[in-house]
Amino acid sequence: MITPELKARFPEVPIREGVLLSDYASFGIGGPAAGFVSVSDISLFARLLPGANALGVPTLIIGGGTNLLVSDAGYDGLVIHIDINDFQVDRELGIAKAGAGVPTALFVDRVIEAGMAGLEFAAGLPGTIGGAIAGNAGCFGHTLSDFLERVAILEPDGTVREVDVDWFDFDYRRSRVLDGEAVIVSATFNLQQGDRIALRAIAQQHLAIRSAKHPPKGAKTAGSYFKNLPPQAPGEPRRAAGALLDQAGVHGLRVGDAAVFERHANIIVNRGRATARDVLSLAAQMANQVRERFGVALEPEVRFIGEHPADIRYLIDTG
C-alpha cells in the first residue's frame, strides 16, 4: 500500500513499486514490495519513516537481508533499505564507528587491518552492522554487543539520538530494536590495540571453521534457521539446535528447492527456485522431528515477513 499522499509528501524520494524482495534477501526468496527506497541520508530517513507512519503506510526496514524469509506475495507497504555506509577507525582512541548499512564482514576486516582487537571472532559474519546489532548476532562465544559503546538510533517520531548498550535489553538473538521501538543508524565500538598479523591469523582460523560447516559464499541461505535452546542447567552453554536436528535425522529432507544443507542440519538452502512456502513446509518438518524425538519446540531465528500461505499450518510453537 503506497498512497498518493506519501509520494506527494516526498517528491524528492524515488519510491519504486514492484521491486522483487528476492533480490534483497540472501535466501533469494520474496515477492514484490508495494514500495521500495534505499536511503543513505540520515536526515531524509528521519523524515521519511515518521511520514509513512503518519499516513498509515506499513514500513519494513532491511539491511543485508541475511536473516529474512519474505512471503512469496511480497510486502504490502514501504520497504526502506538502509544504505548508510560510512565508517571510521581511530586506533589511538580505540574507537571504530560504522553506519548501519556497512557489511559486518567488511567492517571487521577493516578493523583488523587497522590493528584493533576484539571483533576478529566475527570475521565472515553475514549481514550488516545494523542488522547484526538488532538481532544480537554472534559466534564463537561472543556477540557484537559485547564491544558496543554507543549507538545512534532513529525513533518512530523521527528523533535521532544516541543510546548506550543498556537501552537495548540484549538477550539471545534479540534486542528492543526487533520490537520496532527504533532503527539503528550507526554504532560505535570500543576496541583495544592489537597486533594486525596475530589478529588476521585468528580471523583466518574462524573463517576456516565457518567455511567447513556453512554453505559457500553466494549460496542462497539465511544461515541458522532455528535458535539454539536454553541451557539445561545454570552455567551450561545453550543446546545447539543443529545437534538436535542432526540426531532427529533431518539430513536429506527437501521440499521443492528448499533443502537441509548437507554439512549443517540447522541450515536451509535454496537450491534454485525455492518458495517461501517450500521453506516453511521444510522448517515445520524439521521442527516436528525434533519435537517427536526430544519433546522440545524449536523457535525460528529467521524472521518471516508477510502473511503465511493459507495452506501451510505453521507447526512451530514459538511460545
Residues catalogued as catalytic = 173, 224, 301
Per DSSP, 215 falls in state: P
Instruction: State phi, psi for 142 to the nearest 5 degrees.
Output: -130, 160
- Residue recorded with cell 554439512: 263
Pairing outcome for strands 68-70 and 303-305: parallel
DSSP letters for 223-248: EE-BPPBPPSSTTSPPBPHHHHHHHT
Q: Phi-psi region for residue 197, left (φ > 0), alpha (ψ -120 to 50) or beta?
A: alpha
Q: If DSSP codes are grouped into helix, strand and coil, which group holds residue 185?
A: strand
Question: What burial letters (b/e) apply to 93-111, b meaning 16+ CB within 10 Å?
Answer: ebbbbbbbbbbbbebbbbb
CA dihedral 307, 302, 106, 200 (to 10 degrees): -170
